[in-house]
Amino acid sequence: MVFTELLDMIEETYSLEVVDAVISASDLPSGGSYTRVGTYPSEEMSMLVATLSREVGAPPEDLLRAFGDRLFGRFVEMYPAFFPADQGIGDFLSGLESYIHSEVRKLYPDAETPTIDVLVDGDDSIELTYQSPRDMPDLAEGLLIGAIGHFGAVLEIQRSDLGGQPPTTRFTLTRPADS
C-alpha cells in the first residue's frame, strides 16, 4: 500500500508524466508494478524517492517527510477505527506497537513493521524511539507531523539519529514554551 500511495502522491503533486519518468529512470526489480497488498523491498522506495528528487529538484528527506505526512492522513481515511476521535496523540503513539502494528501483522503477515518505543510524560513531552532495518526516519518524522496535525497537538519535534543496527532514531515531541 505504501508504494501505491507514493505513486499517487507523485501524480497528484506533480503529474502522471513524472510518475512514468520516475519509474522508467529507476532500475526497479519489480518493474514499478505495485499493488496495495504486495510486499516490496524497501530499497525500491529509496530508489523511487532518489529518482523523484533528481526529477523535481527537491531533497529526498523533504520528499519523504511530505509523503509521511500525507500517508498518515490516508491511514486515517482508510482505517478510521485505529484513530478514535476521543484519543489524544500520547495515547495513540503509546498504542502503536501493541495495537496498530500487531493488527497490521495480522492483516499482512509479511509486513516488517518498525519497532517503536514510546514514553509519554503528561501532555508536554513524548519520547519515541524508532528502530527499523529499512532506516526511513524521514518517513517516520513525516508520519509524526501528520499525527500531530490530526490530533491537533501543539508539539515541536526534535530528532536524534542514534545509528546502530538496526538504525535507531529518537524523536522528542515537546510543547513549545510559548504555548
Q: Domain spans of the chain?
A: 2-58, 87-174
Q: Which of 133, 119, 122, 128 is nearest to 166 (CA)?
A: 133
104 band by pLDDT with thresholds 50, 70 and 90: low
- Give the closest residue to 128 by CA, choosing from 106, 103, 153: 153
Residue 130: beta bridge partners? 116, 169
Query: Which amino acid is residue 11, in one-letter code?
Result: E
Phi then psi for residue 176, to 5 deg, are: -60, 150
CA 87 to mean position of chain CA atoms: 20
Q: Kindly report whether the peptide bond that precedes residue 59 is cis, defined as omega within 30 degrees of 0.
A: no
pTM, two decimal places: 0.89
Distance, in Å, from the CA atom of 61 to the CA atom of 64, rounded to the nearest integer, reads 5
Residue 1: pLDDT band by 50, 70, 90 thresholds?
confident
21-47 pLDDT tens trace: 999 999 888 888 888 777 788 889 999
DSSP 3-state of 33: coil
Q: Which CATH class is domain 87-174?
A: alpha beta
Question: Per-residue pLDDT averaged across 55-62, rounded?
Answer: 96
